């Protein structure tokens, strides 16, 4: 980031450039995230990607509403995790819009926190799934209509597959030949649409996290206990099966989502079982029968759908997800489709674990 930008941004959040150290933080694919350390405080600073989030004021408003709700529950002892709240600007605003230099917002930084990229044990899976379930359950009494839809149809598989079909037929960069087998594979999965059409009308709309990857949960590095759920950017009305599915997607594989060691990309049944236990226990009676029935569908949709989105972005020239090497999005897509296939192959073992 340009030095002049820091000189402009940091004073809005109460620190001068000379008194602050700024370093990149985390592995997000969309926003630019930094840890700011100053003599008076540490906080997380983000430049939101306004191509992906065209209504940043709605996004910061959602995060504030949700963290206020959870913060009140933490005080009354009902919410047991820490709450990462917005760190407002000097003028109390939740962000600052610097035009061409971006939309910036800050959030609290939790000392002693750490995140992981790959789940190491069933116990860790159960702990993290319990934390995401506790988060969802704690939001079940907040009116979902108060939360803006910052990305409409975010988890709508038919729409995502249609966009892939269009990107493949346009093939504007001539990349289709290199990945046409994966495109055919993905376009062949429309059988899931029937299941979706049948189940969806039975599912309540709740405030969901919508990005429950393992690295969006913070552990306390002193004892690896659950500390906080972070990244409220995509908290919107939706169905819990997608939160469950995104956990399956990011907890079950022993490899990171961009690993090219595809022979090692498998869904580990013991991790799947532990995550199912942790999540359903935390949700308790709040989870309806239809929602429980939908979990296996969510578990298949999420790896497939994120794979479809990576592949679409590869065909369209990597304009959505940040990439760090050539063909990165294609490699991510191949990884996710391999995981999806592993889930299908193990249906007879995995599905019964959901009760």
User: Where does this chain touch Mg ion (CB under 5 A) — which range of 14-22, 61-69, 223-231, 273-281?
Assistant: 223-231
Site track 226-255 with ligand GN1 (rule: CB under 6 A), x = hit: -----x--x---------------------
**What residues numbered 303-332 form the site for ligand GN1, per CB under 6 A?**
306
- Determine the distance from the C-alpha atom of residue 166 to the mean position of all C-alpha atoms in its chain, rounded to a whole number: 25
Q: How far is the CB of 213 from ligand GN1 (least distance, A)?
A: 6
Helix (H) or strand (E) holding 128: helix 122-138
Residue 129 touches ligand GN1, criterion: CB under 6 A: no
Q: How far is the CB of 4 from ligand GN1 (least distance, A)?
A: 26
Q: How far is the CB of 154 from Mg ion (least distance, A)?
A: 11
DSSP 163-192: HHHHHHHH-TTS-HHHHHHHHHHHHTTTHH
Contact (Cβ atoms closer than 8 angstroms) between residue 12 and residue 89: yes
Tokens of 327: 């063909």
Q: How many residues does the chain have?
A: 355
Q: Which of 95, 124, 137, 231 binds Mg ion (CB under 5 A)?
A: 231
Task: Name the one residue in this structure whose structure tokens are 């799947």.
Answer: 272
Report the residue closest to Mg ion, judged by CB. Answer: 211
Contact (Cβ atoms closer than 8 angstroms) between residue 79 and residue 134: yes
**What residues numbered 1-30 form the site for ligand GN1, per CB under 6 A?**
28-30
What are residue 245's DSSP bridge partners? Answer: none
Residue 183 site contact among ligand GN1, Mg ion, none (CB < 5 to 8 Å, cut-off depends on kind): none
**Cβ-based neighbour number of residue 3 at 10 Å:** 8
Residue 124 or 234: the one with the smaller Cβ distance to ligand GN1 is: 234
Residue 246 or 255: the one with the smaller Cβ distance to Mg ion is: 246
Q: In angstroms, rounded to a whole number, what is the distance separating the alpha carbons of residues 232 and 234?
A: 6
- Residues 6+ positions from 97 with CB-CB distance below 8 Å: 56, 103
Residue 28 or 108: the one with the smaller Cβ distance to ligand GN1 is: 28
Site track 48-67 with ligand GN1 (rule: CB under 6 A), x = hit: ----x---------------
Residue 306 site contact among ligand GN1, Mg ion, none (CB < 5 to 8 Å, cut-off depends on kind): ligand GN1
Q: How far is the CB of 31 from Mg ion (least distance, A)?
A: 8
**Helix, strand or coil for residue 316?**
helix
Tokens of 339: 């995981």
Q: How far is the CB of 267 from ligand GN1 (least distance, A)?
A: 17
Alpha-carbon distance values, 241 to 135, 202, 212, 238 (Å): 14, 12, 11, 9
Interface ranges with ligand GN1 (CB under 6 A): 28-30, 52, 211, 213, 231, 234, 257, 306
- List residues near Mg ion by CB under 5 A: 211, 231, 233
């Amino acid at each position: 980031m340009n030095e002049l930008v820091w000189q402009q941004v940091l004073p809005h959040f109460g620190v001068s450039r000379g008194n602050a150290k700024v370093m990149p933080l985390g592995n997000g694919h969309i926003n630019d995230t930094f840890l700011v350390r100053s003599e008076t405080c540490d906080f997380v600073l983000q430049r939101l990607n306004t191509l992906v989030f065209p209504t940043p004021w709605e996004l910061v408003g959602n995060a504030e509403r949700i963290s206020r709700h959870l913060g009140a529950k933490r005080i009354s002892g009902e919410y047991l995790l820490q709450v990462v709240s917005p760190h407002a600007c000097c003028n109390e605003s939740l962000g600052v819009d610097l035009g061409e230099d971006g939309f910036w917002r800050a959030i609290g930084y939790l000392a002693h926190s750490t995140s992981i990229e790959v789940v190491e044990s069933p116990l860790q899976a159960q702990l993290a799934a319990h934390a995401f379930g506790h988060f969802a359950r704690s939001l079940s009494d907040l009116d979902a209509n108060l939360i803006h839809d910052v990305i409409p149809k975010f988890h709508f598989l038919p729409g995502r597959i249609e966009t892939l079909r269009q990107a493949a037929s346009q093939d504007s960069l001539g990349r289709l030949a290199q990945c046409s087998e994966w495109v055919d594979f993905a376009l062949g999965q429309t059988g899931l649409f029937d299941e979706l059409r049948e189940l969806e009308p039975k599912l309540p709309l709740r405030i969901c996290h919508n990005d429950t990857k393992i690295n969006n949960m913070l552990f306390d590095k002193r004892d690896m206990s659950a500390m906080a759920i972070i990244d409220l950017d995509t908290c919107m009305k939706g169905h819990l099966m997608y939160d469950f599915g995104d956990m399956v997607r990011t907890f079950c594989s022993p490899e990171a989502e961009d690993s090219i060691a595809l022979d090692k990309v498998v869904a580990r049944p013991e991790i799947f079982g532990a995550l199912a236990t942790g999540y359903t226990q935390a949700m308790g009676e709040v989870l309806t029968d239809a929602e429980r029935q939908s979990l296996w569908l969510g578990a298949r949709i999420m790896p497939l759908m994120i794979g479809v989105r990576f592949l679409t972005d590869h065909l369209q020239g990597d304009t959505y997800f940040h990439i760090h090497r050539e063909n990165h999005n294609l490699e991510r897509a191949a990884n996710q489709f391999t995981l999806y296939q592993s889930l299908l192959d193990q249906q007879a073992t995995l599905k019964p674990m959901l009760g």
